């Protein structure tokens, strides 16, 4: 498979921006900062253009890795000088020397990796025993590309979430430039039970699960049902894990 994220790097850098897109700044990063507030050293796996590096706790050291040289270049240009970055494919053996990070983060990247089990295994090898791993996913049940969608129950005046497929692993093409024939990446769907098995095989235990909803509100005649649906169907799931061995 070609390095689709290198090809899509300029598009991705543009939509994320220096500080992150709306849900980065309003939902994801505030929650991660709270989880990592006491972490002395942080490994950012699949760091992209380094959005997390600009939000790490004061006093923490930071290392970001990503398979895309262009995104690593952008991360170095945008981030504080004390943040380190290295081109590393998380799904292949790593060249990092440090193997005792106190915490690792996979921020909206695990679902874009063809071999997430290998990425988890290599991450575990670079965490100190008892180290924390925070995985942020587009919700693996409610937010599956091409398999989930909104529906309207008019008699009940409710908006619901339709799920066409969940248990089957999926490889889903994602068009990075809608309306154009170039710029394709992939999303790899796995059920929560499969993710749990991968984590267990890599030596992790799931300590806590958080589900994060949109904080947006609607206007207009359908405000009530749309706002209710946002609160009932989370956008993101966070798995807070610990290296057990």
Helices assigned H by DSSP within 79-212: 116-125, 192-201
Q: Tell me what the mean pLDDT of segment 102-110 comes to.
A: 97
- The yes-or-no verdict on residue 126 having pLDDT over 50 is yes
Token code pair at residue 17: 């921006």
The reported pLDDT for the residue numbered 153 is 96
pTM equals 0.92
Q: Which residues pair with 21 in a beta bridge?
A: none
The tens digit of pLDDT for each residue in 187-231 reads 999 999 999 999 999 999 999 999 999 999 999 999 999 999 999
Q: 158 lies in a domain? A: no
The number of distinct structural domains making up the chain is 1
C-alpha torsion angle, residues 196, 187, 46, 97 (rounded to 10): 60
Q: 157 lies in a domain? A: no
CATH of the domain at 108: 3.40.50.150
- The yes-or-no verdict on residue 177 having pLDDT over 90 is no
The reported pLDDT for the residue numbered 1 is 39
How does strand 236-243 pair with strand 101-107? unpaired
The reported pLDDT for the residue numbered 175 is 75
Task: Quote the strand ranges of 19-154, DSSP E.
Answer: 41-45, 61-66, 84-87, 101-107, 127-138, 148-153
Q: 160 lies in a domain? A: no
The parent domain of residue 188 ranges over: 4-147+167-222+234-243
Say how many C-beta atoms besides its own lie within 10 A of residue 197's C-beta. Answer: 13
Q: 162 lies in a domain? A: no
Nearest to 135, CA basis, from 208, 48, 50, 244 = 208
Q: 155 lies in a domain? A: no
Cβ-based neighbours of 89, under 8 Å, separated by 6 or more: 67
φ, ψ of residue 63 in degrees (nearest 5):
-135, 125
The reported pLDDT for the residue numbered 17 is 67
How does strand 170-175 pair with strand 158-163? unpaired
């Amino acid at each position: 498979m070609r390095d689709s994220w290198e090809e899509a790097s300029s598009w991705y850098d543009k939509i994320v921006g220096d500080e992150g897109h709306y849900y980065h700044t309003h939902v994801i990063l505030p929650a991660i900062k709270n989880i990592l507030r006491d972490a002395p050293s942080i490994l950012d796996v699949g760091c992209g253009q380094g959005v997390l590096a600009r939000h790490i706790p004061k006093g923490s050291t930071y290392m970001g890795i990503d398979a895309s040289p262009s995104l690593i270049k952008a991360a170095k240009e945008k981030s504080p000088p004390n943040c380190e970055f290295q081109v590393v494919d998380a799904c292949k053996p790593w060249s990092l020397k440090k193997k005792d990070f106190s915490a690792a983060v996979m921020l909206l990247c695990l679902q874009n990796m063809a071999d997430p089990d290998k990425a988890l295994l290599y991450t575990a090898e670079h965490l100190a025993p008892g180290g924390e791993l925070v995985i942020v996913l587009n919700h693996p049940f409610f937010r599956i590309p091409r398999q989930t969608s909104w529906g309207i129950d008019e008699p009940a005046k409710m908006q619901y979430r339709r799920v066409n497929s969940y248990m089957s692993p999926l490889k889903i093409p994602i068009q990075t430039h809608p309306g154009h024939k170039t710029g394709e990446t992939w999303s790899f769907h796995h059920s929560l039970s499969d993710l749990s098995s991968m984590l267990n095989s890599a030596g992790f235990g799931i300590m806590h699960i958080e589900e994060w909803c949109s904080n947006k509100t609607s206007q207009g005649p359908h405000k009530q049902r749309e706002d209710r649906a946002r609160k009932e169907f989370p956008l993101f799931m966070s798995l807070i894990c610990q290296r057990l061995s």
